[in-house]
Amino acid sequence: MKTYYMNFLKFATAVDLIASDIRKSNIQFHKIYGIARGGLPLAVALSHKLNVPMDVVKWSLRDFKDRDLGNLPNDLFAGKKVLLVDDIIDSGVTMHEISFNLGEYNSTDLKIACWIYNVDQDIKPDYFADSIDRSVDKTWFEFWWER
């Protein structure tokens, strides 16, 4: 399997594209939640770019097996508009698990953003910069913050 290195320049371009799409949507988010660890760089960058506070969701399937939604359910219950951010939606398992665990708090006030979106699964983010089709492309992505 080949590896494709996602460098900082590509990251900056992705941040600009996603931020632009968010602005065009006219949704004023109250908070951005980054999924630790991979979603944090993108969440921080979007937080700065959009001037929206940021918080963390701990949901690791691979590295630390840590699962904690933090304040996300409380913010949704309070009717706040929330953006959930990850680096890549690949299999969709992380987003499915988070959605399932939000249960009754899962609302239309929750939107999803990611850098790379795999179109060969059933979760579609509201905002993304790049897409792949895993049924065709098996490339492994290595992000600049992982080196």
Predicted local confidence at residue 124, as pLDDT: 92
Q: Mean pLDDT in runs of 10 for the chain (147 residues)?
A: 82 97 97 93 98 90 72 88 95 88 78 95 94 90 86
Count of structural domains, the chain: 1
Predicted local confidence at residue 103, as pLDDT: 78
C-alpha–C-alpha distance, residues 45 and 86, integer Å: 12
Reduced to 3 states, what is the DSSP secondary structure of residue 115? strand
- Whether this prediction's pTM lies above 0.95 is answered by no
Predicted local confidence at residue 114, as pLDDT: 97
Please identify which residue in the block is written with the tokens 């602005």: 23
Predicted local confidence at residue 1, as pLDDT: 65
Predicted local confidence at residue 13, as pLDDT: 96
Question: CB-hemisphere CA count at 13 Å for 34?
Answer: 19
**HEC per residue, 33-49:** EEEECCCHHHHHHHHHH
Residue numbers of the domain that contains 33: 3-146
Predicted local confidence at residue 99, as pLDDT: 86
Predicted local confidence at residue 70, as pLDDT: 81
Q: Output the CA angle 91-147-57, nearest 5 degrees.
A: 50
Predicted local confidence at residue 111, as pLDDT: 94
In DSSP terms, which residues pair with 113 in a beta bridge? 85, 127
- Do the beta carbons of residue 35 and residue 50 sit within 8 Å? no
Q: What's the CATH number where 45 sits?
A: 3.40.50.2020
Residue spans of alpha helices (H) in the chain: 8-25, 40-50, 72-77, 93-102
